[in-house]
Structure 1
Amino acid sequence: MKMVTQTIKEEVTEIFNYLHANPEVSWKEEETTTFLTEFLERNNAKVRLFKDCTGVIGEIGEGSPVVAVRADIDALWQEVGETFQANHSCGHDAHMAIAAGVLLTLQKRSDLPKGTVRFIFQPAEEKGSGALKMVEEGVIDDVDYLYGVHLRPDNELADGLASPAILHGAARFLLGKIKGDDAHGARPHLGNNAIEIGSSLVNMVNGIHLNPMDTYSVKMTSFHAGGESANIIPGSATFSIDLRAQKNETMAQLVSKVEAITASLENYYGVSISLETGANIAAAESNEEAIGFLRQAITQVVGEDNLCPPIVTTGGDDFHFYTIKKPTLKAAMLGLGCGLTPGLHHPQMTFNKDALFAGIQILAETVEQTLKEGSPVEGNN
């Protein structure tokens, strides 16, 4: 096992501290992109920027196989104390620092096997659309293997433990509008009561039943109708529905059911009900070979006693769109235990910074082993 040197530790710590202190929200990661670009250029990586979005690609080596490491770069917008601000409470600052550390580590290995290592510093994961933009830009067209990393909360994975896969579920947010006619409170027959329509929608959504062996949920999370006048029956309303499923196939069934329900309510009440997708996150489509390389590296770095099974979680990550859009891509995401409390997306989230270096070692070993033993996807090269 090759250790992370003290020089790399110092540089990675500086990188993390800068990124943590300078968070930027989705699609506005301009300074973050500039900082990462300068880091990549300083370390002799081939750099690619994008004309119409943030994010940057760095590449070392040449030839096949092509192994990619993806790190998300955006922060959340949330109330911290009494101030709303950008905040790295999901660990993306750590993910970037780990990816940077992997590059620094691999650059120092004179015996690195032949192949290309591509670092994808991806914007807008929190919006669920950054990975799709990277796919559109062609950054994985020739990639054979893709690895990611995500810090895990302490109640899911204790400090010092690691998992070779995070099996995220699918998530989708539907934003709806009911459009009908207002009516006087004394003449309800002349309009449409959007509140009653909303009540019917809640009851019908709660009555959705799919295969009980599949994990899923669907629930209304907001509903707004009416104003200050108590004698006006509101004909219009807005609402949102949150859908979750452990499988992409189950999510497709849920969406179909909700669309059928709104269509039937439109017909019954004589109103217009529109739906649009506010966010859409795919469930994990991991690859056993990629998981195997991660498992082997975890065992080498932290020992078999600290290797945990793949994590099944209802949370989501747009990392999985890469494999949805390119089914031949072999991908897996490292789950890194780091003493993270109180939890992801908590404004005061904190974790053990020493875990950064375990993550760097694990991913560096994974990439090196993949370069040595991995097989290029047919047609990529």
Structure 2
Amino acid sequence: MYSDEKIFNKMVERRRDFHRYPETGWAEFRTTSIIAETLINAGMDIRFAVDFVEMEHVLGRNTDIKAQIRRAVSQGASPEIIEKMKGLTGLVAEIETGRPGPVTAIRFDIDCVDTTETEDPSHLPLLLGFNSVNANSMHACGHDGHTAVGMTLAEQLFSERSLLKGKLRLIFQPAEEGARGGYAFVKSGIVDDVDYFLTFHLGLGNPTGTVFGGTDGFLYSTKIDADYKGVGAHAGAEPQKGKNALLAAASAALSIHGVAPSSDGLTRTNVGVLNAGEGRNVVPPNAHMKIETRGATEDAAKYIYLSVMRILSGAADMYDVKLTTQKCGEAVSASSDRDLAKTVTDAAASVSEVDRTELIQPMAGSDDACWMMKKVQDNGGKATYIGIGADTKAGHHNDHFDFDEKAMGIAFGVLYKTIFMLNGLSPV
């Protein structure tokens, strides 16, 4: 089925539609609506996130929900389906075969990156008319492809459920960027009964035709929003009456990027956003920062996080401004089970478009799917994070990012074959 032209063309069409209308974490109303409508029309049972996620576990949620919903409807989302979401994005689809067998979950992330797509005339999405129309929103990480593969795979597996055993659970997770969605889904219990957990990513520096059965080396990560509140004043007449929030934030930003490395493992920090001030002649009374920390080990992650928090607090004291912080996302580390990764590479070897397989790829990033992997493994199940190579025009999160769409066909084939090896009445 992986080389079926009709299936491949369907994935391409869907991917380009999602690329045209990207939505950031916890605001994927159109995306969720399109997925839901497609799977319902195929006859599948679905549950929206609101049916199982507890709001207390939701991190970094977009507060301007009404505006996001209005935009989604104007861009083709179903108002009736959006009403059923009750302000929370994402969904889960179940395929119950009625025959004894394992519970296998496959997770697909559906959100985009907070960046603006290039207007370079050589950029393929622009040339073909599927470049992003939403401000500061771009599928610059391949999640449009992940979603298209997930929808199409769900349809195909449901149509062939008579050939399967056990249960399949397809998880369409919001807010992977910023590590905001995985934790809420795990706390809901959605993977508590899972025997096998699969997820995948396109690209990651690997060429089209390469498949890694698993991934190791994920970094722990914490996402922080910090706000400084000072006092505005006339910068010329009464500067002494002001309390400069911008300088506090600037001082903190420089110090955060100067934290000493840890002997406990690799660490990373990034101040991705710093907005401050109101006018040229006004002592800046406010500043907002978006920060992330990462660590290769739990101790390294704790070290860098606490270092950043001390710096933020120290800058507030130094400039006599008030500081408020909020943890907006968090990811843990996880490792892929070798035997399940081997099942994936065995499946990939029978996909004609695959020309190289490796058991494990190293990873220097973070993914909140690790919450799900770790939970499944803690409960005695197996989990793996599959790497599907895809030639790209630029690195992930770059405004020129685009990937070789042939990789979606490979991803479909690898997942399809793997699922039949785990849940099939007989291999395909």
Structure 1 unpaired stretches of 5+: 374-381
User: CA–CA distance in 2 between the matches of 1:271 and 1:282?
Assistant: 33
Q: Give the 5 Å matches for 1:169-208.
A: 169-178=219-228, 195=247, 199=251, 202-203=254-255, 206-208=258-260
User: CA–CA distance in 2 between the matches of 1:204 and 1:10?
Assistant: 47
Partner of 1:257: 307
Q: How many residues align?
A: 367
- 1:162 pairs with 211, 217, 231, which one? 211
Task: Render the CA deviation track for 1:240-280: whole Å, top value 9, x for unaligned.
Answer: 54322233442123213333455667778876544332433
Task: Render the CA deviation track for 1:120-139: whole Å, top value 9, x for unaligned.
Answer: 11222224222223224432
Rate the CA distance shift 1:266–1:340 in 2: closer, same or farther, 3 A. closer
Secondary structure at the counterpart of residue 146 of structure 1: strand
Secondary structure at the counterpart of residue 339 of structure 1: coil
Cα deviation for residue 206 of structure 1 reads 2.4
CA contact (8 A) 2:210 2:354 kept: no
User: CA–CA distance in 2 between the matches of 1:298 and 1:243?
Assistant: 35
Is residue 350 of structure 2 the alignment partner of residue 315 of structure 1?
no
CA contact (8 A) 1:245 1:314 kept: no
- 2:396 pairs with 308, 327, 344, which one? 344
Task: Render the CA deviation track for 1:2-45: whole Å, top value 9, x for unaligned.
Answer: 75434433443443344334433332323322322232223332
Is residue 365 of structure 2 the alignment partner of residue 365 of structure 1?
no
User: CA–CA distance in 2 between the matches of 1:118 and 1:164?
Assistant: 20
Task: Render the CA deviation track for 1:180-231: whole Å, top value 9, x for unaligned.
Answer: 678999999999776479648844872434116x22123555666776459x
Judge which range, 358-367 or 188-197, deviates more.
188-197
**Which has the larger Rg?**
1
User: CA–CA distance in 1 between the matches of 2:162 and 2:200?
Assistant: 25
Is residue 87 of structure 2 the alignment partner of residue 36 of structure 1?
no
Cα deviation for residue 67 of structure 1 reads 0.3
Partner of 1:216: 267
Partner of 2:11: 12
CA contact (8 A) 1:339 1:352 kept: yes
Task: Render the CA deviation track for 1:26-75: whole Å, top value 9, x for unaligned.
Answer: 32323322322232223332222244412222121244411011111223
Task: Render the CA deviation track for 1:290-310: whole Å, top value 9, x for unaligned.
Answer: 323222222332598501353
Partner of 2:102: 65
- With normalisation by structure 1, the TM-score equals 0.79
Secondary structure at the counterpart of residue 255 of structure 1: helix
Partner of 1:145: 196
Letter in 1 for 2:182: A
Rate the CA distance shift 1:298–1:278 in 2: closer, same or farther, 3 A. same
User: CA–CA distance in 2 between the matches of 1:361 and 1:316?
Assistant: 25
User: CA–CA distance in 1 between the matches of 2:258 and 2:146?
Assistant: 38
Partner of 2:57: none
CA contact (8 A) 2:111 2:177 kept: yes
Rate the CA distance shift 1:192–1:367 in 2: closer, same or farther, 3 A. same
Judge which range, 144-153 or 200-209, deviates more.
200-209
Judge which range, 70-79 or 4-13, deviates more.
4-13
CA contact (8 A) 2:214 2:338 kept: no
Partner of 1:48: 47
Rate the CA distance shift 1:348–1:171 in 2: closer, same or farther, 3 A. same
User: CA–CA distance in 1 between the matches of 2:13 and 2:42?
Assistant: 15
User: CA–CA distance in 2 between the matches of 1:370 and 1:322?
Assistant: 19
Judge which range, 81-90 or 357-366, deviates more.
81-90
User: CA–CA distance in 2 between the matches of 1:8 and 1:200?
Assistant: 51
CA contact (8 A) 2:110 2:173 kept: yes
Is residue 183 of structure 2 the alignment partner of residue 132 of structure 1?
yes
Structure 2 unpaired stretches of 5+: 51-85, 120-132
User: CA–CA distance in 1 between the matches of 2:23 and 2:286?
Assistant: 36
Partner of 2:408: 356
User: CA–CA distance in 2 between the matches of 1:38 and 1:262?
Assistant: 45
Task: Render the CA deviation track for 1:62-105: whole Å, top value 9, x for unaligned.
Answer: 44411011111223343235675343232122112222333344
Letter in 2 for 1:40: L
Over aligned residues, Cα RMSD in angstroms?
3.7
Task: Render the CA deviation track for 1:150-174: whole Å, top value 9, x for unaligned.
Answer: 1115xx2011111122343233333
Rate the CA distance shift 1:20–1:305 in 2: closer, same or farther, 3 A. closer
Partner of 2:22: 23
Judge which range, 245-254 or 256-265, deviates more.
256-265
Rate the CA distance shift 1:6–1:196 in 2: closer, same or farther, 3 A. closer
What is the percentage of aligned positions where both structures have the same residue? 26
Letter in 1 for 2:138: N
User: CA–CA distance in 2 between the matches of 1:44 and 1:370?
Assistant: 23
Letter in 2 for 1:310: I
Rate the CA distance shift 1:286–1:342 in 2: closer, same or farther, 3 A. same
